[in-house]
Amino acid sequence: MRINQGKSFHGQVRIKISGRLPERFLQELLEANIPLWDIQKVSNTSCEASIYLRDLQKVRHVKRKSEYSIKLLHGSGLPFRFRNILRKKPMILAVIISFFIILFLANIIWEVKIEGVSTEIEKKIHKQLTTYGIYPGASLWKLDDTAEIQHDLMHDIPELLWVGVEKNGTALHFEAVEKRVAEEKEIEGPRNLVAKKSGVITKTFVANGQPIVHVDDFVEKGDVLVSGKIESFDKNISKGNIDEEENTKKYKQIEAEGEIRAKTWYEIDVTIPLDATYETLSGEQTNRHYLKFGSFQLPVWGFKEPKFDSLHYEHDTKDFHLFKWELPWKYVHSTIHEKTYEEIKRTKEEAREVGIKQAKQDLQLELGPDAQILTEKVLHESIENGKVKLTIYITVDEDITKYESIGQSD
């Protein structure tokens, strides 16, 4: 009965054997170890039987030595079915084409998503990305490494403080942080340079204008550092009226330009707790997907209970739109993060160090990379309710110039 196995898998052929006493030939086939089934005598001189497709060669071999003739009637089973499919050219063509279409579609960018910045910057990033060849519909083949895109973007768009690029299959996600550039107001026309802070001048560099202060001078906030009013040396006037020149000095008003660096000082209060608990995400997360109808949430995917001790939920709700109408159901993707608590215990000295470091960092961030922190000194230190309070005195070398239009100051 084992003959039944694999009949359709290997394929079977029905053959017709003709000749005198066809059963003799059947016997010969048996001796050649060829299994046969469904043998039927059609007439005295002919006989029908089924054999495996793979035995067909052997049958032909046996036939060559005998006087019988063999006719193939029909075949069935997988090999024949397969051959039939192969015979249907349009279908094969369709399969190949669809394969290529899938391949093609899987290799173009479908979505470029930018998060975390204002619409203006977002547009700018989009525009910049388009010049890199990154836009919906562009090929993924030519795409650079994400680190490289990140680097290029940071370089080409100075407003960005940081850009994270993540490639999710055919979607590119950009997460950007905008630099808050505290741009100084450029004043057109005649202007002075005035001090925006009090300090002791350490360096002067005047490109345009009349310097009024010198190194080691002390200046108050608002003092004029470089004047935009300079004496005019008009030769025509000086030649003609030498006497008059003494009485009425000719002034010319220009745009003062330069850099005056001064030593400034800051008093900063910081409070550092001795014991601190921080919440951090461990990075472990599970995802849940819901369909939301009104207030009812139908879980669609993600049923595993997270084995986290403490959880942090993040919900991302997407609306469905059909043309301009909002459909009544929403898709909610919630991410459950594992939250871990970290406790930090500091000694007084450590807290003090952290405080100084923090104060310096904050100040540097406020003043910009141009400022240089020279010295710091702890003026006052006290412990209250498990917190260290510090008053730190910091001296900084920085550019203190500010533009001020002459008309205004006068």
Partner 1 sequence: MRKIKQRFQNLAIKYLQLPQDVLLELPRITLIGHIHAYIENHRGLLVYSDTELRLKTNKGAIQILGDSFVLKTMLPEEIILEGTISDIKFIPE
> CB-based contacts of 226: which residues, under 8 Å, 6+ apart?
192, 193, 206, 208, 209, 210, 211, 212, 256, 257, 258, 260, 401
Nearer to partner 1, 30 or 85 (CB): 30
Q: Report, in Å, the least distance between residue 7 CB and partner 1.
A: 11
- Span of 19-27, 250-258, 273-281, 301-309 interacting with partner 1 by CB under 8 A: 19-27
**Which window, 31-39, 117-125, 177-185, 267-275, contacts partner 1 (CB under 8 A)?**
31-39
Q: Which is nearer to partner 1, 26 or 373 (CB)?
A: 26
Distances in Å between the Cα of 50 and the Cα atoms of 35, 317, 355 are: 9, 64, 92
Nearer to partner 1, 26 or 276 (CB): 26
Residues 6+ apart with CB under 8 A from 329: 291, 292, 293, 320
How big is the CA angle at 210 (ends 207 and 216), to the nearest 5 degrees?
A: 90
Name the segment binding partner 1 (CB under 8 A); options: 27-35, 113-121, 289-297, 389-397.
Answer: 27-35
* Angle, vertex CA 396, rays to CA 391 and CA 399, nearest 5: 140
Which structure tokens are listed for 244?
């008059």
Residue placing its CB nearer to partner 1 in the complex, 31 or 316: 31
Which CB sits closer to partner 1, 36 or 70? 36
What torsion, rounded to 10 degrees, do the Cα atoms 14, 18, 21, 22 define?
-20
SS3 222: coil
Number of residues that bind partner 1 (CB under 8 A): 18
74 versus 89: smaller Cβ distance to partner 1: 74
Integer Cα distance of 364 and 398 in angstroms: 11
Binding of partner 1 by 86 (CB under 8 A): no
Q: Would you count residue 1 as binding partner 1 (CB under 8 A)?
A: yes
Beta bridge partners of 269: 391
Query: Is residue 3 near partner 1 by the rule CB under 8 A?
Result: yes
Please list, in sequence order, all residues whose beta carbon lies within 8 angstroms of the beta carbon of residue 313, skipping any fewer than 6 positions away. Answer: 334, 335, 336, 337
| Among 26, 53, 230, 276, contact with partner 1 (rule: CB under 8 A) | 26
- 284, 304 contact by CB (below 8 A): no
Is residue 5 a contact residue for partner 1 (CB under 8 A)?
Answer: no
Q: Does 61 bind partner 1 (CB under 8 A)?
A: no
CB 408 within 8 A of CB 228: no
Closest separation in Å from C-beta 33 to partner 1: 6
- If the CB atoms of residues 44 and 236 are measured against partner 1, the closer one turns out to be 44
* Residue list 323-342, contact with partner 1 (CB under 8 A): none
Question: Of 20, 27, 71, 118, which lies in the binding site for partner 1, with binding defined by CB under 8 A?
Answer: 27
Q: In this complex, which beta carbon is closest to partner 1, that of residue 40 or of residue 238?
A: 40
- Rounded alpha-carbon distances, angstroms, from residue 51 to 4, 37, 196, 390: 11, 7, 102, 97
What part of residues 37-56 is at the interface with partner 1 (CB under 8 A)?
Answer: 37-41, 44, 47, 49
Q: Residue 392 in 3-state DSSP?
A: strand
Residue type, 105: L
Please report whether residue 271 would count as binding partner 1 according to CB under 8 A: no
Cα 209 to chain centroid, rounded: 48
Segment lying near partner 1 (by CB under 8 A), choices 33-41, 128-136, 234-242, 378-386: 33-41
The minimum distance between CB 44 and partner 1, in angstroms, equals 7
- CB under 8 A: which stretch of 28-36, 67-75, 221-229, 366-374 binds partner 1? 28-36
Tell me if 30 contacts partner 1 by CB under 8 A: yes
Does 33 participate in binding partner 1 (rule CB under 8 A)? yes
CB atoms within 10 A of CB 50: 19
DSSP structure string for 300-340:
EE--PPP--SEEEEEEEEEEEEETTEEEEEEEEEEEEEEEE
- Residue 55 CB, shortest distance to partner 1, in Å, is 12
Nearer to partner 1, 32 or 92 (CB): 32
Query: What is the spatial distance between Cα 27 and Cα 356, in angstroms, rounded to a whole number?
Result: 103
- Chain contacts with partner 1 (rule: CB under 8 A): 1, 3, 23, 26-27, 30-31, 33, 35-41, 44, 47, 49
